[in-house]
Amino acid sequence: MATTPTRTLQDGTTLPATGFGTYPLTGEDGIRAMVSALEAGYRLLDTAVNYGNEAEVGEAIRRSGVPREQIVVQTKVPGRDHAFDKAVASIEGSLERLGVEQVDVALIHWPNPSVGLYVDAYRALVECRERGLVRSVGVSNFTERHLADVIDATGVTPVLNQVELHPLFPQEQLRATHERLGILTEAWSPLGKRNAPFGADPVAAAAEAHGVTPAQAILRWHVQLGVVPLPKSADPERQRTNLDLFGFELSADEVAAISALAREDGRLFGGDPDTHEEM
């Protein structure tokens, strides 16, 4: 089993260069799928309070036999818990459900701008880091303005921002902002949800040229952009192929052609997170 390369976060900790998305895996079937992912070699598991599966994630870690210290667990505080004390309590609840002493990466699931307490929630995450409840603090679905607000208020830059990102929504401007601020970009729905462009000429051509699947070509595109993709699948074979991204490299022209799909497509993607990520 090949070892997945790592990315160094700006707080000095590391993160696997690709991870495993756990939504909507729940119950015994969900546990089995997550154990399968860990057996395939995934070492980054992405969950959230709103996914309703933190207990399953914890159980999968224990059943897998993989040492806890080898697994990066990240979870997210929901928008309804953005008041300072509620956000701290949310992290404490996540630790209990996961059955771990520390969450590796704690994120704010989305800024919930109509309530406007995301700065308080971020302060709470920083407090939890100081208490040793979390190792690293980050955000999800934040815009450049939201990032500036939390950095200005706390002096602590998020280690990462997890956002929707795929060939039809490559987030060029936000990625440039992240690069300037030293924030890692993580991608949810890295293949494009129901609109995955597997049959698009640049994707199909890259897959054929390298003897890989279209999904692998897209996920490798993420890696070469410096993005950490979080594919999700309950199928063991697909889990393995989605992780097998480091034995080939796309050319600069192939990367550029896949990136250009968004301009060619012309449809509007992005904006609000998935329905399971809105509250």
List active site positions.
Answer: 51
Asked if residues 243 and 42 have their Cβ atoms less than 8 Å apart, the reply is yes
Phi-psi region of 20 (alpha: psi -120 to 50; beta: other; left: phi over 0): beta
Name which of 279, 213, 207 is nearest 250 in CA terms. 207
- For the residues of 202-239, what is the DSSP string, one character each? HHHHHHHHHT--HHHHHHHHHHHHTEEE----S-HHHH
First to last CA, the chain: 38
* 221 vs 166: CA distance, rounded Å: 9
Q: At CA 28, angle to CA 23 and CA 31, rounded to 5?
A: 55
